[in-house]
Chain A
Amino acid sequence: MTETVTAPGATESLADFTARARAWLAENMPRIDPDHPPFSVRAEAESWARAKELQRRLYEGGFAGICFPREYGGLGLDYSYQKAFDAECRYYEMPLILNTPSFTICSATILDMGSETQKRERISAAIRGDEILVQLLSEPNGGSDLAGVITRADQREDGTWVINGAKTWSTSAFAGDYGLMLARTDWTVPKHEGLTMFLVPLNAPGITMRRIKEVNGNEEFCEEFFDNLELPADAVVGAVNDGWTVASRQLHHERRAVGGGSEFASGKGAENANEMPPDHVGLAEATGQSEDARVQDLGGRALVRRMVKEQLVDHVSRSIADGSLPPNAGTLIRLFHAETTELEVDTALAIAGTAGVVDEGGDGVGDLGGLLDVGIRYLSRQTGSLGGGTSEMARNVIAERILGFPREFAADRGVPFNQVKRKRD
């Protein structure tokens, strides 16, 4: 758990804070229907401009960065205040896309590992709504082997660094101002020991960015190419060759954020309609099958799974808190979430029938045209089981770190990285 800096002596009571937040939200933030959130797609630049604008309002109103320390632009309050604020802001438009990775992963990691200057400059700029932070970790040749980074950083005699290589699957990087970028700085030691984390200004010369287009048309993720990108010595986050420690903090914060347990997230709603779970009851009704026992069984099963997922989140959080499960038990939630999403998406496709794959349009009774989205969503079903670590890696973590089973054999363990085999002979 990240230790939140404790609030200063004269802290406003939770009840007073909540009342003040309620009044302020009503005055200053646009009201929404949380079941039909406003358009906010990460792939669109306008979504980010809107999010920054909303974040500025929160900052000016004194409700931004609730759990970040005061010296870095936050309010220095504990999680209970953020939770109270989350409950209050449910019916208002919030800059939800700024939560992950900017606040919950990047700012949280800089707070843990960054220099005083990095904390003062980057965290406060993010809280003010001026900047967005992203992660540049995965590489085209990397896959699940995150520490097998081959992007290189070479230090010149004057202390500056020169970066060459490529990163991929960087969430919302096109919208970012700074990125946490992992590079190899020592090739003569085993893979985890020669890495360094850098804070990279994304508008620097030497960076070329390209969008990745997914099967559902989504263009949220990016890949970046570094050609002799120059960085000053103070761009290093943490210590040189200790980048894996920083990356591990990012992964830790990412797991907490994905499980819905980060105090640095503000607002908890769905970012857009695509993130909402499929409405199986609605689909059954739209296709005239709500009296069909088979469809009721299918749909009910998916509904059950979704509710059990919420109960598992509560159970695992409680169990980590009382020590009956280890901290990395969050991986159970990660895997269950992926499995549940697969079931929900499959069930929606099964109920939608042909309307999920052919635009059947309206017939005066009801409009089936919208159901084609169910089929489109199905095409990218696996994203939830791949992003942020695959389900197979999650199963390794559960078996090895929670159940204590023997670790998988790794041919690169303890081997200097420049002697590790990286491709077929």
Chain B
Amino acid sequence: MSANPEQLLFTSTAQAFLDKEASLGHVRALHSSEVSFDSHWWQRAAELGWASLLVPEELGGGSVSGDGVADLALVAEQVGQTVAPGPLHPVSIVLAGLVEAPSGHEDTIEALVSGQLVASWAIYEPRQPFSPLQAATTATRTASGFRIDGVKDRVEAGDQSGILLVTATCDGRLQQFLIPTDAPGVTITTQSSVDMVKRYARVQFDGVEVDESAAVGTAEQTPAIIERQRQVALTLQCAEIVGILDAVLAMTTQWLFDRHSFGRPLASYQALKHRAADMKMWFEACRGTTAGAVAAVAERSPKAELLVSVAKAYVAERAPVILQDCVQLHGGIGVTWEHDLHLYLRRVALYRAMYGSPEDHHRAVFALSRKTRAAEES
């Protein structure tokens, strides 16, 4: 991704903010005090524009370069450098959906852009794989709106969200609804994760009553809106992982130069040089495929569906391999709590699984290629 001057300034501001307010030290401190993120901190991040990037100007948003998806990917990459805390992913994913059908949700969008409100996407259901177009959770029509019943889980930052975007089946068709977390009948249970700070939640909806206006888009619009949210979610994961890899590879290269064994720097051993060379190649490939996904999502290209799966499949397959290789090249220190590598390894392991594993995305790419092939033959 080659950035323009406005993007460079935006990125350096984000970087300075993260260095000062979301360093690895901050992440460790949050972890030991069992805090996921500080809401005031998130509001300050939002003041830097982090939550406005996917929102058009007429709805109170905007982005420095005019390409909000690319700018958001740059922020995510910076976040990866320090595996920073915060609800960048859930807020961005929800906003990506709301701006597709903003009517009646302008206030929610404004509150999210300002950072005063945190939202999350309630898409997973207990014991089910990521299948965004299926929901056992139901929305039943009532005189004034809908009644929601069911259980969602793996809801990122669910315990710190004011509102949830929930998929539910209504009259046999999938639709999304905005449900405040303080509505009667909503029960939230925290789910811990391997990450130092990222927390998830199980959310139970027992006869939760919402107005007609809670619906986001029509049933006809819903599959396309969900697909857009899925694309934003996967793009964010890949971009953040690219930032993580950049950080851990810099760390590991430095180590190979500094550490001496048998009177030579580790960097002089061909066996280790070749591993570093492979990691460099994999890293640049991760960058390349992420750039491809970002561009396709930004342009709303018909290939975006394929390219986000290609990027997620490759990046999430390679990144854990690179992280564990970095641990190996560090030697014993790499598996200690005091070394920072595990902070990065945790986030990568988390993203590998969430929103589809590499194996799931391989199959998705196979299916899409099969469809294209069949279309070409007929």
By a beta-carbon cutoff of 8 Å, the part of chain A in contact with chain B is: 280-282, 284-285, 290, 293, 296-301, 303-305, 307-309, 311-312, 314-316, 318-319, 322, 324-325, 329, 332, 335-336, 339, 392, 394-396, 398-400, 402-403, 405-406, 408
With A300-B369, A308-B289, A399-B273 known, 13 other A-B pairs at CB within 8 A are A296-B367, A297-B359, A297-B362, A300-B363, A307-B289, A307-B306, A307-B307, A308-B310, A311-B310, A396-B270, A396-B277, A398-B281, A402-B280
CB pair A311 B369 closer than 8 Å: no
Contacts of A308 in B (CB 8 A): 285, 288-289, 310, 314
Contacts of B313 in A (CB 8 A): 300-301, 304
CB pair B370 A290 closer than 8 Å: yes
A-B contact pairs, 7 of them (CB 8 A): A296-B362, A301-B358, A301-B362, A311-B291, A312-B289, A396-B270, A403-B277
A303's partner among B2, B274, B366 (CB-CB below 8 A) is: B366
CB pair B292 A281 closer than 8 Å: no
- The distance in angstroms between the C-alpha atoms of A319 and B367, with both chains bound, is 32
The yes or no answer to B361 lying at the interface (CB within 8 A) is yes
Contacts of B359 in A (CB 8 A): 297
CB pair A314 B274 closer than 8 Å: no
Kindly provide the distance from the CB of B152 to the nearest chain A CB, expressed in whole angstroms.
Answer: 26
Range of interface residues on chain B? 35 or more
Contacts of B289 in A (CB 8 A): 307-308, 311-312
CB pair B364 A405 closer than 8 Å: no
Residue of B nearest to A318 (CB): B2
Kindly provide the distance from the CB of A127 to the nearest chain B CB, expressed in whole angstroms.
Answer: 34
A282's partner among B268, B280, B306, B373 (CB-CB below 8 A) is: B373
The yes or no answer to B117 lying at the interface (CB within 8 A) is no
Asked, given contacts A293-B363, A311-B292, A312-B284, whether A322 binds B270 with beta carbons under 8 Å apart, the answer is no
Smallest CB-CB A-B distances: 5 pairs? A315-B288, A300-B362, A300-B366, A399-B273, A398-B277
- The distance in angstroms between the C-alpha atoms of A339 and B364, with both chains bound, is 23
A296's partner among B268, B280, B363 (CB-CB below 8 A) is: B363
Asked, given contacts A282-B373, A296-B367, whether A403 binds B285 with beta carbons under 8 Å apart, the answer is no
B366's partner among A299, A322, A392, A395 (CB-CB below 8 A) is: A299
Kindly provide the distance from the CB of B290 to the nearest chain A CB, expressed in whole angstroms.
Answer: 9
User: Which residue among A303, A314, A396, A402 has the maximum number of chain B CB atoms within 10 Å of its CB?
Assistant: A303
Asked, given contacts A303-B369, A311-B289, A316-B284, whether A405 binds B363 with beta carbons under 8 Å apart, the answer is no
Contacts of A336 in B (CB 8 A): 281, 285
CB pair B362 A405 closer than 8 Å: no
- The distance in angstroms between the C-alpha atoms of A297 and B314, with both chains bound, is 13
- The distance in angstroms between the C-alpha atoms of A319 and B317, with both chains bound, is 24
Contacts of A284 in B (CB 8 A): 366
Contacts of A403 in B (CB 8 A): 253, 273, 276-277, 280
Contacts of A335 in B (CB 8 A): 277, 281
- The distance in angstroms between the C-alpha atoms of A342 and B204, with both chains bound, is 49
Interface set, chain B 280-302, CB cutoff 8 A to A: 280-281, 284-285, 287-289, 291-292
